[in-house]
Amino acid sequence: MSLITVDHLGVRFGATEVLRDVSLAIDPGEIVTIVGPNGSGKTTLLRAILGAVPAVTGRVRRGAGLVLGYVPQRLHVDPTLPITVERFLRLPGGARATDIDAALARAGVPDLHRRQMSDLSGGQMQRVLLARALVARPTLLMLDEPTAGLDQPGSAAFYRTIDEVRRETGCAVLMISHELHVVMAASDRVICLNGHVCCHGTPEHVSSAPEYRALFGTGTGGALALYRHEHDHSHGPGDPLGPGHRHGPGCDHDHDHDHDHTKTEAAE
């Protein structure tokens, strides 16, 4: 029984179709990573799974016993509103002190209880957000670009912690990442999203697909990723991605038209 099953999910914001016919399932204990260009609907997909964004078509089914933990991309803490790490972790459900201690230890920051949230470094903040997600003992941990803004050693250490959490607790992990070396090393499966699921499979399968190499092929140690996404069809009006692009081998569907679009972005 899957923890989460997404069936033909569609999401719109006003006239803009952000997700179209997205189907996937997450099984207990696996690490699945979502990759895709900026604006391709990755965060929206996680928020739809959380129930924070309504589906206009399809649905998200939750398996029995599912407990979700969510690590957002970032959290802005107003420095004029002082709050300690311990108090932040106690909210909103009134978590027990022993659970907070265990979550902080598991997140690799066992001594931060009394620190002000606004004083945390970027890496400490991400670990506190991880601890907050772990307090509930999730069976599915979802992380939205959890290492954005961290340097490479900090990022690598964070992903090692995620792997340890998975091994120790047996939780499944669904994360968004732009760090392709991490994706390939740490994931059981990779889903490439571009408004819809373009291709998916094991890291070996996805990384050997010409379309994947075209999409992420010029990374210089993670410093710059060239997103050249190719499909064989035009996206419809209102598509957030503009005109169509071409799919390559490894994709789950084929179309007639032939367009490219190229997008560059500085990766962290």
Ligand X SMILES: Nc1ncnc2c1ncn2[C@@H]1O[C@H](COP(=O)(O)OP(=O)(O)OP(=O)(O)O)[C@@H](O)[C@H]1O
Binding region for ligand X (CB under 6 A): 13, 18, 36, 38-44, 240
Q: Which is nearer to ligand X, 82 or 238 (CB)?
A: 238
Least distance in Å: CB of 41 to ligand X? 4
Given strand 189-193, what is the order of strands in its sheet?
68-71, 140-144, 172-176, 31-35, 189-193, 197-201
Q: Which is nearer to ligand X, 63 or 72 (CB)?
A: 72
Q: Which is nearer to ligand X, 36 or 123 (CB)?
A: 36
Say how many CA atoms lie within 13 Å of 43 toward its Cβ: 11
Please name the helix (run of DSSP H) or strand (run of DSSP E) that holds residue 98, with its range, or none.
Answer: helix 97-106
Least distance in Å: CB of 200 to ligand X? 16
Least distance in Å: CB of 239 to ligand X? 10
DSSP state of 248: -
- Show the tokens assigned to 229: 């996404």
Least distance in Å: CB of 212 to ligand X? 17
DSSP state of 242: -
User: Beta-carbon neighbour count of residue 20 at 10 Å?
Assistant: 21
Amino acid at 19: L
Q: Which is nearer to ligand X, 68 or 176 (CB)?
A: 176
Separation of CA 50 from chain center: 12
Q: Which is nearer to ligand X, 39 or 149 (CB)?
A: 39
Least distance in Å: CB of 216 to ligand X? 13
